[in-house]
Structure 1
Amino acid sequence: MSSKRYPEEFKIEAVKQVVDRGHSVSSVATRLDITTHSLYAWIKKYGPDSSTNKEQLDAQAGIRRLQKELKRVTDERDIFKKSRGVLRKAVRLRYAFIRDNSCCWPDRLLCRVLNVHPSGFYTWLQQPHSLRLQADLRLTGQIKQFWLESGCVYGYRSPRARKGEASIVIPHRLLRQFNPEAPDERWVTDITYIRTHEGWLYLTVVVDLFSRKVIGWSMQSRMTKDIVLNALLMAVWRRNPQKQVLVHSDQGSQYTSHEWQSFLKSHGLEGSMSRRGNCHDNAVAESFFQLLKRERIKKKIYGTREEARSDIFDYIEMFYNSKRRHGSSDQMPPTEYEKQYYQRLGSV
């Protein structure tokens, strides 16, 4: 059996547990089930004094500058496109356009693009509104709040496209059999989102049903095919299964893609999907997300995606896998439950 491999995302977050959170190398290595030699090597490569870290920081700073400039140009283009005709109209109509679109762009940016002074706009806002307008504003605020709480998924549903890539839906082979006899028989995977002041952070996990251990995860700012593939790749690297594993998901577009099916086939994995509208078919993955949000995230909003990423890594790898006890695993943490299984297997 080949040795375990870990993706760069995992290594960087492991180093942060020592560098940023102050945990000892030995304690982090023990909880993550890695050697201290490996962790020291990762610290040397990804720590604050490494050339790799400095290059990454410079690259990230450059990317942030480009993203900021691109957002400014894109916002101005979109405002001009949406405000066609408003520039030639009376100032009060431009003020109304700014008020109606302040949920999409900053007030001062709208004022600059529409060639009005912010102080004049704010003075106009203080004028009394009609009862009808006040009711409309309240309704708009409620709609926006519902949209945010839905993870930005509520809204207009476009008709089914007749062109494009066809989805691949496979049978529900798991059949809610959530308690296998051994590790690496059945895995489940799902996606959730975490709110930050920078925007949503999407999290994908892969859970081994035998111990309820999170064996793969990935966190990104966009919900693309890569996030589910990276999480499953981490699980394959960490577990190196010697027999076919059943991997169960819902029917999200990331899981019905050709890339997902190709990955399963090339790594000797068998797919399974929840039936449409049956969220209980993937109950264990949903249960993990509920625990994460109840025990760690609760109602807080992280300042940045990086802050959320670090805290979620701490929950998964430093607490949930190595410390949190589960009723389904004889009141043992997932890692300990698996160790005792292999010890019993070796004594037979």
Structure 2
Amino acid sequence: MSKKGSCVLCEPPRVKYALIREYIGEFSIVMMCRSLGVSRSGYYRWLGRPQSDRDKQRAWVKEQVLDTYATFKARYGAPRIAQELKELYIPCCTNTVAKVLRLQGLKAHNGKSFNYGGHALTMHNVADNLLWRQFGASKPNEKWTTDITYIWVENQWLYLATVMDLFSRTIVGWALEDNMTEALVTKALQMAFNRREIQPGLIVHSDRGVQYRSQKYIDFMAKHGAVPSMSRKGNCWDNAPMESFYSRLKVELIYPEQFSSIEEAKSGIFEYIEIFYNRLRRHSSLGYVSPAQFEKDAAMAA
């Protein structure tokens, strides 16, 4: 909150008030008002005013920037994030993205200043890539793929883990939590195992995230006769179907809805996956039928 070198001091009072509100709980209001050159009385008056359309737009753009930053696991800086948002028809220039990242103290992990700790280079329990981008399957429960995505809701991150059957693109298991742990991915896989009748040899593909390399998760898969497969290092295209699903989820649900609470997010994601995506949404790769209809047609033809 130091004045020295801070471009925030040049901003209008309402921007400073918004910054103060964002950091409530981390710094005292007295100290922040003094550092930013605004009065406490002015800040409290501002709190009682309805948020302007312009402020709402800025807050929405900020959420999209942070969400994209997390989606690409801090690998993208301002230029690439701005390009991703442009592809989603979200108006946002590189300078705006850079400012949001700077105020949040965020940097892309591909810069020289990023320090990779020794633990980041240690890769235990890495499985071979058994799919090699062969995303087709001849029957249900032959090849599954799984991953985690980040969702920004009510000033915090939620983490969604999903499991997809590559035969029909059905989401067979999912879990939503406020932490990204081995328990999260296990919970999603447990739902999938509970729902489907699987045979030994089922391939479950993921990236090399630490959650998927945990011994508990690997033992859990082995207990059910599943075989792990993992993408090559840093290659998101090795899990393209899941990346595509997350892209649609965010464009069709997360961005338009702008959930204001965790419960709203959970309800919305349930409706999207279980009702719309699995049972109603027509997929071009399936001949423009839903995953549920595709599996039903395949069962009748067998």
2:126 partner SS: coil
TM-score normalised to the size of structure 1?
0.58
**Alpha-carbon spacing, 1:160–1:209, altered in 2? closer, same or farther (3 Å):** same
For 2:114 and 2:301, the matched residues in 1 are separated by: 53
For 1:108 and 1:228, the matched residues in 2 are separated by: 31
**Structure with higher RCO (Cα < 8 A, 6+ apart):** 1
Which one-letter code corresponds to 2:39 in the other structure?
Answer: T
- Report the equivalent of 1:123: 39
- Report the equivalent of 2:69: 150
- Report the equivalent of 2:289: 332
Deviation at 1:104, TM superposition (A): 6.9
Report if aligned partners of 1:197, 1:301 keep a CA contact under 8 Å in 2.
no
Task: Show the 5 A alignment for 1:1-348.
Answer: 102=20, 105-106=23-24, 110-111=28-29, 122-123=38-39, 149-151=68-70, 153=74, 154-155=106-107, 157-161=114-118, 167-345=124-302
Instruction: Output the aligned Cα RMSD.
Output: 3.6
Deviation at 1:277, TM superposition (A): 2.1
**Alpha-carbon spacing, 1:146–1:157, altered in 2? closer, same or farther (3 Å):** farther
Deviation at 1:253, TM superposition (A): 1.4
1:251 partner SS: coil
**Alpha-carbon spacing, 1:123–1:208, altered in 2? closer, same or farther (3 Å):** same
For 2:281 and 2:153, the matched residues in 1 are separated by: 25
Aligned residues, how many? 232
Deviation at 1:213, TM superposition (A): 0.3
Report if aligned partners of 1:198, 1:303 keep a CA contact under 8 Å in 2.
no
**Alpha-carbon spacing, 1:220–1:122, altered in 2? closer, same or farther (3 Å):** same
Identity %: 37
Q: Which has the larger radius of gyration?
A: 1
For 1:143 and 1:158, the matched residues in 2 are separated by: 26
Which one-letter code corresponds to 2:23 in the other structure?
Answer: W
Deviation at 1:158, TM superposition (A): 4.4
For 1:267 and 1:146, the matched residues in 2 are separated by: 39
TM-score normalised to the size of structure 2?
0.66
1:289 partner SS: helix
Segments of structure 1 that go 5 or more residues without pairing to the other structure are 1-81, 84-97, 127-141
For 2:154 and 2:172, the matched residues in 1 are separated by: 28
Deviation at 1:160, TM superposition (A): 2.6
Deviation at 1:124, TM superposition (A): 9.1
Deviation at 1:337, TM superposition (A): 1.0
For 1:247 and 1:294, the matched residues in 2 are separated by: 26
